[in-house]
């Protein structure tokens, strides 16, 4: 490693090095120092990181690299301005480390709560409260699954650190990783997670209370759990499927922050909008 590379890595270590991952518990947002002028949004109704046609696959900062040997992990406690998750919390909990090339890895927790239990039945929606949250979403059946945030769940992140500029993404679809890989073809001409080749799926139906749902092709009508149908529906599937298998898709929450000693400030852009974020080192 040359002198310049050593100096760059040393600077990154000075910014992000610290003790190991802190436990994720209840976070008191009010104990975080609110900077002067906090409350101004970065554009709460701005462009989402997820388009109307489905999840975004763009990596933070355009990077799609694998991390090499990373330095120590550092934990940060933060909040989102002018936004709250279903629990009422605006808290963020981040752990991150970088390698000598500036590739960043770690995890982020949104809000407060208990992570969802393991997947038990892949034929019903996941997590268990998914349908209940869908009914609360705008008072109508959603046309996409990108309204659900699992508070307390550690979403993996990847990104880059360039000097004091940290950019990273959290893949929100990772929550459904175990659920997606368990999807199986539910019936004739209905592929995994209802991915149907050659346009053979004719449509779907939902009851207003999301208790009765079905999909139809040219041969039959197939009753299906409403949560599963929402998670697999066109335009909002959390899974990326072929005709033989499914894996989690990609839905980005994009973070763009600048590190200054023990603080970080910047923005997050995702399905819930674009907002300012602030962190302090633990």
pLDDT per residue of the chain (282 residues) written in tens, 0 to 9? 544 544 444 455 455 543 233 333 333 333 333 333 333 345 444 443 433 333 344 444 444 445 556 677 899 999 999 999 989 999 999 999 999 899 999 999 999 989 999 999 998 999 999 988 888 875 455 556 677 889 999 999 999 999 999 999 999 999 999 999 998 766 666 666 776 655 565 677 888 888 898 888 777 788 888 888 888 876 567 888 877 788 888 888 999 999 998 999 999 999 889 999 999 999
> What is the predicted pLDDT for the residue at 39?
36
Predicted local confidence at residue 251, as pLDDT: 83
* The predicted structure's pLDDT at residue 114: 92
What is the DSSP track for 177-241?
HHHHHT----BTTB-GGG--GGG-EEEEEE-TTSS-EEEEESS-EEEE-HHHHHHHSTTT-SEEE
Q: pLDDT value at position 63?
A: 40
What pLDDT does residue 200 have? 60
Q: Residue 145 has what pLDDT? A: 66
Alpha-carbon gap, residue 178 to 182, rounded angstroms = 7
Position 167 scores a pLDDT of 97
Are 22 and 75 contacting, i.e. CB atoms less than 8 angstroms apart? yes
> What's the token pair of residue 139?
């008072």
Tokens of 207: 């009851």
Place of tokens 């910014």: 15
The CA distance from 229 to 264, in Å, is 39
Residue 242 has what pLDDT?
A: 76
The contacts of residue 263 (CB under 8 Å, 6+ apart) are 278, 279, 280, 281
Q: Are 268 and 277 in contact (CB under 8 A)?
A: yes
Q: Are 97 and 106 in contact (CB under 8 A)?
A: yes
Nearest alpha carbon to residue 277 among 129, 81, 83, 96: 81
Domains, the chain, in order of start with CATH, read: 42-63+74-178+249-281 (2.40.128), 184-248 (no CATH)
């Amino acid at each position: 490693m040359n002198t310049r590379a050593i100096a760059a890595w040393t600077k990154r270590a000075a910014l992000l090095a610290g003790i190991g991952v802190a436990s994720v518990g209840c976070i008191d947002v009010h104990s975080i120092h609110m900077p002067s002028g906090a409350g101004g949004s970065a554009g709460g109704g701005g462009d989402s990181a997820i388009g109307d046609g489905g999840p975004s696959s763009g990596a933070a900062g355009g990077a799609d690299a694998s991390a090499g040997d990373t330095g120590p992990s550092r934990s940060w406690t933060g909040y989102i301005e002018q936004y709250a998750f279903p629990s009422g919390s605006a808290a963020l909990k981040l752990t991150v480390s970088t390698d000598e090339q500036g590739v960043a890895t770690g995890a982020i927790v949104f809000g407060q709560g208990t992570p969802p239990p393991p997947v038990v039945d892949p034929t019903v929606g996941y997590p268990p409260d998914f349908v209940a949250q869908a009914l609360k979403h705008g008072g109508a059946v959603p046309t996409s699954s990108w309204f659900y945030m699992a508070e307390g769940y550690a979403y993996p992140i990847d990104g880059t650190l360039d000097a004091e500029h940290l950019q990273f993404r959290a893949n929100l679809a990772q929550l459904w990783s175990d659920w997606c890989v368990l999807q199986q073809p539910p019936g004739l001409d209905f592929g995994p997670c209802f991915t149907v080749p050659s346009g053979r799926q004719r449509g779907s139906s939902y009851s207003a209370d999301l208790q009765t749902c079905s999909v139809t092709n040219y041969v039959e009508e197939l009753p299906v759990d409403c949560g599963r149908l929402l998670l697999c529906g066109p335009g909002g599937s959390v899974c990326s499927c072929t005709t033989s298998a499914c894996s989690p898709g990609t839905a980005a929450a994009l973070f763009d922050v600048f590190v200054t000693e023990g603080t970080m400030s910047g923005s997050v852009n995702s399905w819930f909008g674009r907002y300012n974020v602030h962190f302090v080192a633990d």
